[in-house]
C-alpha cells in the first residue's frame, strides 16, 4: 500500500517514523516550507522533513495546495507529483495547510487525519491545551476520514488516555506516541481489508466544542479565579505560551511552570493575589476561591527556578 504523509511538527514526526518502521511504503512526504527560527533567524526545516531526509525519503514543501490561490504554480506542482504517484492513502498530522477537495479526492482511500482529541470534543487548533484547561478527565487521538470541514469527518479508530496531572507538553508527548500507534493500527486494517476495514462513526454535532488558538493575553492569570481553575491553566499553558502572574514586589509578570492546588488551605479573607507564604516548598497565593502554591517560577529576564531558589532571591 502506497502512503503519502503530510505533517510538520514533532507530533507528526513520531507518526511518520512509526509508519515507516511498520514497513509501509511512503514514497513522498509533504511538510511546511522551512521557517526562520532562533536568535539568528536561520531557515530551519521541520521535524518531519529532518526525519524524512534521514530516512532517504522524498520531500515536497508547497506553500499552498489551492489551485485558485496566491501560489497556483506550487499547488499545480504538488498535484502533478501526487497524480504521478497515485497513492492509496494520505496520512495527515498537524500539517498546517488546508487540503482542498482535489487533495481529499486523489488517494484511493482518501485522507486520514490524526487528531489529538476525542472528537467531536475539541475540534480546531489547540485541543491538547483546551482539554487540560477545561478539566477533562480523558483525552485521546482519533483517526478521522477527512472532509472539507474543520475536523468534521467520521471517526474510523479512537484511542484514549487519562489526563491526570499532565501539563500540555507531557500530554502532547503521550498523545503523539498514542497517535503513532493508532495510525499504524489503522493502516494495517486498511491494507488487509480495504474500504471495508472500518465502521465509520459520524460525529455527534451535539458534542462539538472548539479549541481556539491560545493567546498570550489569556496566559496572564487572573487571581480572582479559583485556585482549581488557575492550576489547570498553568498546566494547559506550559510550555507555550507560558502562564504568567502578577506578584507583589515584581514590576513585570512572573512566569509559572508548575503549581499545586492546596486543598486544605484557606485564604482567611485575604484579597485575591495576596502572597500568604514564601517557603522552600512554594509561594502560596490567595485566589478568588482557595489557595494556589507556585512551585516553579521564572522572573522576567531570569532563569527557571524552583520555589526555594526563587524565594531566596526575592526582594521586598
In the annotated binding site, the residues are 117-120
Interatomic CA distance for residues 5 and 137, integer angstroms: 31
What is the separation of C-alpha 182 from the centre of its chain, rounded to a whole number of angstroms?
16
CA separation, residue 269 to residues 124, 218, 291 (Å): 40, 26, 11
Binding residues for (6S)-5,6,7,8-tetrahydrofolate: 117-120
DSSP-derived 3-state class of residue 52: helix
**Would you state the cell numbers that stand for residue 78, as one nine-digit string?**
504538488
Q: Which residues are 37's β-sheet partners? A: 42
Cell numbers 484557606 correspond to 266
| Neighbouring C-alpha atoms within 13 Å toward the C-beta of 8 | 14
**Would you state the cell numbers that stand for residue 308, as one nine-digit string?**
526555594
Amino acid at each position: 500500500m502506497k502512503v503519502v504523509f503530510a505533517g510538520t511538527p514533532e507530533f507528526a514526526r513520531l507518526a511518520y517514523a512509526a509508519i515507516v518502521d511498520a514497513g509501509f511504503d511512503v514514497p513522498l512526504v509533504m511538510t511546511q516550507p522551512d521557517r526562520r527560527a532562533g536568535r539568528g533567524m536561520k531557515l530551519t526545516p521541520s521535524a518531519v522533513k529532518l526525519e524524512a531526509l534521514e530516512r532517504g525519503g522524498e520531500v515536497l514543501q508547497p506553500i499552498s495546495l489551492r489551485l485558485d490561490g496566491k501560489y497556483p504554480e506550487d499547488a499545480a506542482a504538488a498535484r502533478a507529483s501526487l497524480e504521478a504517484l497515485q497513492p492509496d492513502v494520505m496520512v495527515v498530522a498537524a500539517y498546517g495547510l488546508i487540503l482542498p477537495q482535489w487533495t481529499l479526492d486523489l488517494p484511493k482511500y482518501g485522507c486520514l487525519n490524526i487528531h489529538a482529541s476525542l472528537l467531536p470534543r475539541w475540534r480546531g487548533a489547540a485541543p491538547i491545551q483546551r482539554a487540560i484547561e477545561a478539566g477533562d478527565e480523558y483525552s485521546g487521538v482519533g483517526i478521522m476520514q477527512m472532509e472539507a470541514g474543520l475536523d468534521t469527518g467520521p471517526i474510523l479508530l479512537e484511542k484514549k488516555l487519562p489526563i491526570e496531572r499532565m501539563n500540555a507538553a507531557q500530554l502532547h508527548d503521550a498523545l503523539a506516541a498514542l497517535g503513532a500507534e493508532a495510525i499504524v493500527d489503522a493502516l494495517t486494517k486498511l491494507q488487509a481489508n480495504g474500504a471495508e476495514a472500518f465502521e465509520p462513526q459520524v460525529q455527534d454535532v451535539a458534542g462539538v466544542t472548539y479549541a481556539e488558538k491560545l493567546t498570550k493575553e489569556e496566559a496572564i492569570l487572573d487571581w480572582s479565579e479559583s485556585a482549581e481553575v488557575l492550576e489547570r491553566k498553568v498546566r494547559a499553558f506550559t510550555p507555550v505560551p507560558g502562564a504568567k502572574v502578577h506578584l507583589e514586589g515584581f514590576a513585570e509578570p512572573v512566569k509559572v511552570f508548575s503549581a499545586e492546588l492546596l486543598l486544605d488551605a484557606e485564604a482567611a479573607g485575604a484579597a485575591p493575589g495576596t502572597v500568604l507564604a514564601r517557603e522552600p516548598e512554594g509561594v502560596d497565593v490567595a485566589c478568588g476561591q482557595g489557595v494556589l502554591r507556585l512551585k516553579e517560577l521564572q522572573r522576567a529576564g531570569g532563569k527557571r527556578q524552583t520555589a526555594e531558589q526563587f524565594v531566596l532571591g526575592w526582594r521586598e
